[in-house]
Structure 1
């Protein structure tokens, strides 16, 4: 991984899982208690390789300089009101189509094989959930899921930079923990830029195929 090739800035080589845990916290909704974790997050970021840690430090600068309610409003405007700002990874490859239900099943199957059950109504492809899974449950399976959705992650990262969102720094850090983009990734990104996610198929419930797996699950 690019994030660990040269070791951390303190001379150590931190596990990618530690970076994924920090990124998971920072890409999730900024509840007020997030501010309590800033000193620990800064300490962790200082130990990461520069491409992983420096973007997190820039985001933490923004977090500390922004009142909680304002940060929450920025988060909603960034991720809830823009389709191409979606943190749900299957949206980029499947849109709101039946195929998305099957893609969600793949995430759920990976989680269940590792012994993780999600809370009711918690979709498994949210980036914060995937990063937390990779950090705390199964780094190999979590990394594989992130790599499988590399094109969507890159499209999200570029879109955040276009609107100058502070969360672009967090996506820069995530990208730095993953392998360099390959030819097939570039092709998928170019296709997404040209065509966008697949359009909604009228009359189909994109989550119907996965619905039975969400019933009654809890963490």
Structure 2
């Protein structure tokens, strides 16, 4: 349901965060949505947001916005799938980085949904609650405090995702750079955790997997 992936059930629960950060999160959520029939509308909203951002953030997000504007929709969709659905190193599902193919992943996803509901928003029915675009939409539109807390909790995966996108010269690298710029400087613990994840990869479990573990990312030939 972008714009507005989440459905605020009680508007009285909305809280305003830092204005520029919320704008960055909103634009990033729209740019990280799968290119579909609503793409043109999303890009129009992003174009308006860019005019209200500081130059550095506008430049980072503008790179992705320009790519999506100039790329034919079917090609953009194919590149999106290739980037985010077929590569573990660039998945947008945050719990995959920390829980991998284990039972814990289901519990972590449910924790995201619980945060949304506690702020008066229902998780989307057609997307998992830990998808980065969903988290960003929640932080921008529903609850900036709780949303930023989720982003900070997954700071190490966000840094790794940005690094992987930048390394592959993805058009989406600027979006992650902009998101990371809204968060406090990484601590020594964040850096150590990111290095561990980069070296070891996400956890894996051979048996007893729950239903969530089979869906993200898709298991297809050629996955890297």
Normalised by the size of structure 2, how large is the TM-score? 0.82
Counterpart position of 1:120: 125
Query: Displacement of 1:32 after TM fit?
Result: 3.3
Counterpart position of 1:160: 165
Question: Superposition RMSD on alpha carbons, in Å?
Answer: 1.7
Query: Displacement of 1:141 after TM fit?
Result: 0.2
Q: Distance in 1 between matches of 2:75 and 2:105?
A: 33
Runs of 4+ aligned residues of structure 1 deviating over 4 Å after TM superposition are none
* Structure 2 residue 53 is matched with structure 1 residue 48: yes
Query: Displacement of 1:203 after TM fit?
Result: 2.0
Picking from 62, 74, 80, the partner of 2:67 is 62
Counterpart position of 1:106: 111
Q: Deviations over 1:154-202 (max 9, x none)?
A: 1111111111110111111111111111111100110011100101341
Q: Distance in 2 between matches of 1:97 and 1:18?
A: 34
Q: Distance in 1 between matches of 2:207 and 2:167?
A: 31
Query: Displacement of 1:35 after TM fit?
Result: 2.2
The answer for unaligned runs of 5 or more in structure 1 is 1-12, 209-219
Counterpart position of 2:150: 145
Q: Distance in 1 between matches of 2:100 and 2:56?
A: 31
Counterpart position of 1:133: 138
Q: Distance in 1 between matches of 2:151 and 2:61?
A: 19
Query: Displacement of 1:148 after TM fit?
Result: 0.1
Q: 1:101 to 1:74 in 2, by over 3 A?
A: same
Aligned residues: 196
Q: Distance in 1 between matches of 2:98 and 2:41?
A: 36
Normalised by the size of structure 1, how large is the TM-score? 0.84
Q: Distance in 2 between matches of 1:139 and 1:62?
A: 28
The answer for unaligned runs of 5 or more in structure 2 is 1-17, 214-224
Query: Displacement of 1:19 after TM fit?
Result: 1.7
Contact kept, 8 Å, 1:14 with 1:48, in 2: the verdict is: no
Contact kept, 8 Å, 2:30 with 2:42, in 1: the verdict is: no
Contact kept, 8 Å, 1:14 with 1:47, in 2: the verdict is: no
Contact kept, 8 Å, 2:159 with 2:194, in 1: the verdict is: yes
Query: Displacement of 1:206 after TM fit?
Result: 5.9
Q: Distance in 2 between matches of 1:109 and 1:39?
A: 32
